[in-house]
Amino acid sequence: MIRFVLYTIVVLSFALAFIDKTTPIETSKIVDIDHFKVARALRKSIKEKLDRPRPISHIVAKGETLASILPKYGGDKTDALSIDSSLRQIDRSLALLRVGDSISITRVKGELTEIKRNLPDGRVVTVDLKNDHLVSVIEPKVEVVERLITGSIVTTLADAAARASLSFDVVDQLVDIFSDRVNFTRDIQPGDTFSVIVTEKRIQGVGSVVDSVDAALLSVSGSLYGAVRHIGKDGKARYYNERGETQGGQFLRYPLQFTRITSVFNKARFHPILKRTRMHPAIDFAAPHGTTVRTVAQGVVEKAGWAGSAGNMVQIRHDSRYTTVYRHLSKVSVKKGQKVGKGDTIGRVGSTGLSTGPHLCFSVFKNGKYIDPLGKEVPKILEGDEKLSPKVVEVALERLKTHRNMMVLAQSELGGLRG
């Protein structure tokens, strides 16, 4: 600050020294400059700028917590623990930090005054450090809309979905909904069609997010498969087929979303590490390290942790008949004895144990014997016998059939014009 004042004085002195002395100057117009007054004004201006709230953006790195972040900006671990407690009292998810999250930290006169985060769901969380760590949560504006989408398969279902602006999440749900009747790795062919009714939430600051698939219709090799979402008496949402029968009991066809199968169920496969032929009663899914692994059905965790050549492994008992095993995980997210629901995250793809690269080795047992996870029949657990009136299902599916027929007709007429 002293240097700045001296610099100002020197500049002003030079300016006065270089005034053209030949130019007549009226003495009455000469101003006596108070250099110390100027310096005080400059110092005050600079102090006011420094005293203004200054938000600093911090990007969360791997392994960081509030307790490790706040001391970097003048806070302490006590503040961090108090903030964490305040957030958890409202909603545990508010306290979770993920790698890549952005935290806005405001300081005034070098002291922390406010912490703000924009959550992935559009909510904005603010912690007022000067007001007893008061937490405020601003909910985003949400618009709920219904969309009807139809597409025709030319190469793959994924490509057709992309052309129809259908998200991969919806495609995953379609696979889950129809996996007991359609084998998506073998049955889907060019010319097949799909139609879906989805409910979307358009969230301010986030974008559009699919809330639910309300009805779906698949045309596979000339056969129509329909499903309608309905919330039962127990408050659970299930899907019902054209006859009003529940489709909610079958296993999910795949334990992770959209990946490549590198090794199928085989009685004689050459092992790349052991260098010998042995039975491979499982399916290998190649996927990036850290990809979410989900359980294919509800059940209870029997084993969770290190298992020698299988690396990190999770084993789940689903009922008196079926058990599933998930091997080579980089991370295990469940504990022995824990109850899990269908689709729950149980770990992450890795390359632990006898493995040449990141993948998931997935096995299914029936009555203690291996069965092919991608076999024709998908295992099923009965979740109740509640039925839905076929008329209710038909009303929902009729809209999809009409929309599909219009698309097929338009494609036919377009083909005729080109011919």
pLDDT in tens, 192-206: 988 898 888 888 877
The pTM assigned to this predicted structure is: 0.57
Q: What is the mean pLDDT of the chain?
A: 78
Percent of residues, the chain, with pLDDT higher than 70: 75
With 0-12 CB in 10 A as exposed, 13-18 as middle and 19+ as buried, what is 259? middle
User: 101, 110, 108, 107: which is closest to 66 by C-alpha?
Assistant: 101
**pLDDT for the residue numbered 315:** 96
Greatest C-alpha distance within the chain: 112
58, β-bridge pairs: 103
Long-range pairs for 31-40: beta carbons < 8 A, 24 or more residues apart:
35/8, 35/9, 38/8, 38/12, 39/5, 39/8, 39/9
Q: Which two three-digit tokens encode residue 199? A: 């409910």
Reply yes or no on whether the pLDDT at 154 is more than 60. yes
Does 141 or 412 have the greater pLDDT score? 141
Residue with tokens 């080579």: 328
Quick one: fold of 146-240? Nuclear Transport Factor 2; Chain: A, (3.10.450)
Q: Which residues pair with 125 in a beta bridge?
A: 117, 137
Q: How far is CA 272 from the centre of its chain?
A: 34
The pair of structure tokens assigned to 150 is 């139809």
**Is the model's pLDDT at 402 over the cut of 90?**
no
Q: Is the pLDDT of residue 416 over 80?
A: no
- The pLDDT of residue 260 is 67
* Number of Cα atoms under 13 Å in the Cβ half of residue 226: 21
CA dihedral 394, 398, 400, 401 (to 10 degrees): 110
Q: Provide the pLDDT for residue 45.
A: 62
Which residue ranges make up each domain of the chain? 54-138, 146-240, 260-371
Q: Which of 107-116, 328-337, 363-372 has the lowest mean pLDDT?
A: 107-116
pLDDT in tens, 8-39: 555 555 555 544 444 454 544 545 566 666 66
Q: What is the mean pLDDT of residues 327-335?
A: 95
Which tens digits make up the pLDDT trace of 289-321?
999 999 988 899 999 999 998 999 999 998 888
Q: In angstroms, rounded to a whole number, what is the distance separating the alpha carbons of residues 68 and 84?
A: 13
Can you give the pLDDT at residue 334? Answer: 95
pLDDT at 306: 95
Tokens coding 26: 């009226």
In the predicted model, is pLDDT for residue 70 greater than 50? Answer: yes
How much of the chain exceeds pLDDT 90, in percent?
13
CA atoms of 343 and 340, how far apart (whole Å): 8
Three-class secondary structure assignment of the chain: CHHHHHHHHHHHHHHHHCCCCCCCCCHHHCCCCCHHHHHHHHHHHHHHHHHCCEEEEEECCCCCCHHHHHHHHCCCHHHHHHHHHHHHHHCHHHHCCCCCCEEEEEEECCEEEEEEEECCCCCEEEEECCCCCEEEEECCCEEEEEEEEEEECCCCHHHHHHHCCCCHHHHHHHHHHHCCCCCCCCCCCCCCEEEEEEEEEEECCCEEEEEEEEEEEEEECCEEEEEEEEECCCCCEEEECCCCCECCCECCCCCCCCCEEEECCEEEEECCCCCCEEEECCEEEECCCCCEEECCCCEEEEEEEECHHHCEEEEEECCCCEEEEEEEEEEECCCCCCEECCCCEEEEEECCCCCCCCEEEEEEEECCEEECCCCCCCCECCCCCCCCCHHHHHHHHHHHHHHHHHHHHHHHHHHHHHC
CATH topology match: 146-240 vs 260-371: no
Q: What is the pLDDT of residues 159-173, one digit of tens each?
A: 888 888 888 888 888
Sorted by sequence, the CB contacts under 8 Å of residue 229 that are 6+ apart come out as 212, 213, 214, 215, 237, 238, 239
From CA 45, how far away is CA 306, in angstroms rounded? Answer: 63
pLDDT at site 270: 42
- The answer to whether 244 and 160 are in contact (CB under 8 A) is no
Strands 207-220 and 193-203: antiparallel
pLDDT for 211 beyond 50: yes
What's the CATH architecture for 260-371?
Distorted Sandwich (2.70)
pLDDT at 65 over 60: yes
d(CA 191, CA 351): 38
pLDDT of res. 24: 53
Q: What is the pLDDT of residue 248?
A: 55
pLDDT at 294: 93
**183 Rama class: left (phi>0) / alpha (psi -120 to 50) / beta:** beta
Fold of domain 54-138: Nuclear Transport Factor 2; Chain: A, (3.10.450)
Lowest mean per-residue pLDDT among 176-190, 287-301, 400-414: 400-414
